[in-house]
Structure 1
Amino acid sequence: MILLNKKKFLNIVVDFSFQMRPEANIMYFKLNRKFVMRLSRYFLPLMKETPADAQIISHRLMHRAGLIHKTSAGIYSWLPLGLRVLENIERIVREEQDRIGNHYIKMSTIQPADLWIESGRYDAYGKEMLRIKDRHDRDFLYGPTNEEQVTDIVRTHLKSYKDLPLNLYQIQWKFRDEIRPRFGVMRGREFLMKDGYSFDVDFESAKKTYQSIFQSYLRTFRRLGLTAIPVQADSGAIGGNMSHEFQILAETGESTVYYDKRYEELANSANIDFDELSSLYAVESEKHDPATCPIPEDQLLVKKGIEVGHIFYFGTKYSEVMGLKVTGSDGKPFHPEMGSYGIGVSRLVGAIIEASHDDKGIVWPEAVAPFKVMIIDLVNSDDATMSMGCQLHKALISMGIDVLYDDRNERPGVKFATADLIGIPYHVIVGKRSTETGLVELKHRKTGQVQEMTLDHIIEKFNKDKS
């Protein structure tokens, strides 16, 4: 066996992947979780026409840009480009949960009905719950949420107050049988959700956990390129008396949010103060009364929002009814205080598009973009331009940057339109003139700014961005 060092292996892989021969398939060479990809061999089913039921911009653009495929009403398959975005969002959510010491688990999607009968929610939840029977005629359900299941896990394995606080979370597919699913992934029946659950010894400890997760949510949405407003919320079917909804601001949002303008400044500060933020005025339209609004009109902002997260504190609601007890420091058993914390991971894909698009297509924030750079070869049949494009591609891949190379035999206008539609943050345009002058064009998708730069300067720029 011949062993190659990583750098030499990378050079061989990238050189081979750009041999433009029919037998050279699309290359998925996994190197530090990065991939070498040519658009001519990438599964990207772009659409000129969108389905008639695509009523909002994110639904239309997700179809047109080849992110999803409709399987059934409110149920979608995620195609390669969309899946990359979904996984980037999931990664950021996980990083922020792990940062505050929460433990990642994966609970089953199918749950025994007995747990929900025990909590009293089996009949109360309604027709949104998909109920099924197995071959032994036992009742099960496809989980819409996991309070019962996680309580069962903890009551089985936790015995002492010394094991608390405990925070468990998962990112798992859910199903809720919406009567009228609409707006694509924004209001679907099957969806990917981060749901977390906390267990604490008393109210004060539970409040600290709630505050910690509140702050982590604001950091998460900020990393996703979003401005999130936490508004006081009802607890709904889950129950509880301390609850916030996180509304991200988007001109096409379905909710109207009234809030103190200091929110945006404080939520984006380095140190998020829970007490200060939670004391500010922020409500949805149905709870806003101009006559009783506690802040002056010149300090009140009114914007559209999309709910992407919801957190609840519900005390001993589930630990009592399901018999979860642990032994306290005094030797007596007690019911732990609990909370529930959700983020709509798949919903966030649509919400980000609603908040970040223009008349040409999607404008992805860099943190979630499926690729950071798209190289557009304007004369891909020309050896010189191909060599220049491949040289840049090779350098960027070696730096750990995700790159999509448009080597298709298409007109420049088609390539520009594709790049704008799918929303890659940076476009590097290599043409005949580039081989003569040594300069390529670097376009920033969000601002539209175009600069002429040498390959060395482009590499230097992205190196600085990484640091």
Structure 2
Amino acid sequence: MRSSQLFGKTLRQAPGDAETISHQLLTRAGFIQQIAAGIFSLQPLGNRSITKIRNIIRDEMDRAGGQEINMPVVQPRSLWEESGRAETFVPPLASFEDRRERDMVIAPTHEETATAMARAGVTSYRDLPFTIYQIQTKFRDETRPRGGLLRVREFEMKDAYSFDADEEGMDRSFQAMVAAYKRIFKRCGLEVVMVEADSGGIGGKDSNEFVLLTDSGEDTILMSNESDYAANVEKASFIKKEFPIGELGEVEEFDTPGIKTIDELAKAEGVSKSKTAKAVFYSVDGEIVVVTIRGDYEVNETKLRNVLGGSEPRLATPEEVKAAGLVSGSASAVGLTGMKSVVDDSITMGSNYLAGANKEGFHLRNVNIDRDFKADILADIAEAKKGYLSPDGKGKLVAKRGIEVGHVFKLGNVYSSKMGADFTDEDGEQNEILMGCYGIGVGRMLAAAVESNHDDFGMVLPQAIAPYDVYLAGLGLDDADIAGKAEQLYNDLMDAGYDVLFDDRDAPPGVKFKDADLLGIPARVVISSRSRQNGGAEVKARTSKDSEIVEESNVVEAVKKLLG
């Protein structure tokens, strides 16, 4: 491709609303154009990189036994009502009514459609196992799209779905996809870690994220400093401190004027926060839920949502707390009736806690679970933090930032049971198909690559996903001899199998060099009167400060040494 014919222009300055490095550089390099909040067009350079990513994904999915399909973006809402996600998916489904007055949705993901496909196509165990995948557009009406291609509303995803007859088969399919993902990310030049993750709105019993570790990431990853344990903060667990269970003391009310917080209470009594039982009130589906956790820990609202069956909790407002007859700053689960009680298991690892007396300006001593208050749900709902003990007993947790680029789920029968996707086994019995699903954000992969591969001058893209392999700059092309040599190099490099962007513009050398660095193309070749006087053409890797002069006849070989 000749730069004089290339659509799109580079920019010296990024738009003022471009928050992340990838948003800034992809816009400045002419890869993307923003159409609306969280909605982007791919321009020729960006589309070339995305096409390379798509091709790598297809290669590895086919290698792993996947079969490519295509499912519709617009779907009947009734399909989502079958799965139970029509009202619960977050963010809410984008929907409309068609001319026949039927309710339709714009799909944010395709589990329902894939399940319907299997339901129609599978009757016997002989039809299993199989894996289908697509690279398709999705739409999620994010409340706060940000970061260019990192968090968008309309996006392209590779989503795959495996269907098996039993747990063992589902595990094999899951591991095959994990291996394929590792190959995909390696080929795209992304060093990722696989971490435990929350299944969120997709559902299922287990899930893992593939995360590119970078300081610009929006996700927090907790990792052991002495083992391979790693988890998203939403999912991470840890070893909680246990204290001896002493003889249970008698409950004693005492005066605490002006004390409203756990910190104040512990300080006033001269004890650690671990000796306090903290009450937090949430509104869940219009009802107040009291959550009790030891005072040295915080509530993880994702874990809380999961133990509540997927209902989204939010902190109750002061007005809601008061309307429920609760006393903010002096509350506890002691004596409360008519509301659900959720208790973190840290409460069972000690005894004789300080807690609110549900009376303004008063607290209680020697409060104990079971005797003084009950748990409708007892579970781990505590948020892991850096410095806590790793759950495998090896080392402490350290916090890192990262960008999620892929997610894999063991769905089991979450969808097949609700949507009637069954098969007949060898004994003639009906069984529910077991599923897995596997997603990769295609545009997000490009953005993540830029976030982790850039310098002060622009992108430094891995060859596998760079729009071109070689940036060829001709300087002084009004000289017929220079122009002829540049054309020869252009053809020689293309004949050798390289994608070449030939900068044949009538522009100053500085402009061309700045654009070469901005675009992040792995190899740069410059032909000019000066280079020819020095013995040939300049060849330089994007990652190198220095170039070397190579005889024109050896340029292809020199590029091969740089790129392979």
State the TM-score, normalized to the length of structure 2.
Answer: 0.71
* In 2, Cα distance between equivalents of 1:249 and 1:124: 31
Q: 2:444 aligns with which of 343, 347, 352?
A: 347
1:281 is aligned to 229
1:74 is aligned to 38
* In 2, Cα distance between equivalents of 1:128 and 1:448: 50
* In 2, Cα distance between equivalents of 1:379 and 1:148: 59
Identity in percent? 42
2:465 is aligned to 368
- Report Cα offsets for 1:321-349 as digits up to 9, x if no partner: 10111111112221111011000001111
8 Å Cα contact 1:385/1:434 also seen in 2? no
Amino acid at match of 2:69: I
CA RMSD of aligned residues (A): 1.8
| Alpha-carbon distance, 1:465 to partner | 6.9
- Report Cα offsets for 1:278-316 as digits up to 9, x if no partner: xx301234634433223235xx76532101111110111
* In 1, Cα distance between equivalents of 2:507 and 2:174: 53
Q: Report the secondary structure of 1:375's partner residue.
A: strand
2:24 is aligned to 60
1:205 has 2:205 as partner: no
Alignment of structure 1 residues 11-410 onto 2, 5 Å: 37-260=1-224, 280-285=228-233, 287=236, 288-289=384-385, 290-293=387-390, 294-296=393-395, 302-410=399-507
The gaps in structure 1 that reach 5 residues or longer are 1-36, 264-279
* In 2, Cα distance between equivalents of 1:120 and 1:134: 22
Distance 1:460 1:437, change over 3 A: same
* In 2, Cα distance between equivalents of 1:240 and 1:309: 16
Amino acid at match of 1:366: Q
1:447 has 2:537 as partner: no
Q: Report the secondary structure of 2:138's partner residue.
A: strand
8 Å Cα contact 1:388/1:435 also seen in 2? no
8 Å Cα contact 1:378/1:412 also seen in 2? yes
Count of aligned positions: 413
1:276 is aligned to none
Amino acid at match of 2:15: P
* In 1, Cα distance between equivalents of 2:468 and 2:90: 41
8 Å Cα contact 1:181/1:187 also seen in 2? yes
- Report Cα offsets for 1:85-115 as digits up to 9, x if no partner: 1111111111111111111111111111111
Larger radius of gyration: 2
* In 2, Cα distance between equivalents of 1:86 and 1:200: 31
8 Å Cα contact 2:9/2:30 also seen in 1? yes
| Alpha-carbon distance, 1:425 to partner | 0.6
| Alpha-carbon distance, 1:405 to partner | 0.5
8 Å Cα contact 2:66/2:132 also seen in 1? yes
The gaps in structure 2 that reach 5 residues or longer are 237-383
* In 2, Cα distance between equivalents of 1:69 and 1:463: 33
Dislocated runs of 4+, deviation >4 Å: 260-263, 462-467
State the TM-score, normalized to the length of structure 1.
Answer: 0.85
| Alpha-carbon distance, 1:144 to partner | 0.3
* In 1, Cα distance between equivalents of 2:157 and 2:443: 7
Amino acid at match of 1:296: G
8 Å Cα contact 1:45/1:65 also seen in 2? yes
- Report Cα offsets for 1:125-166 as digits up to 9, x if no partner: 145311011111111111100011011111111211112111
- Report Cα offsets for 1:348-395 as digits up to 9, x if no partner: 111110010001001110100000001111111111111111111101
* In 2, Cα distance between equivalents of 1:461 and 1:159: 58
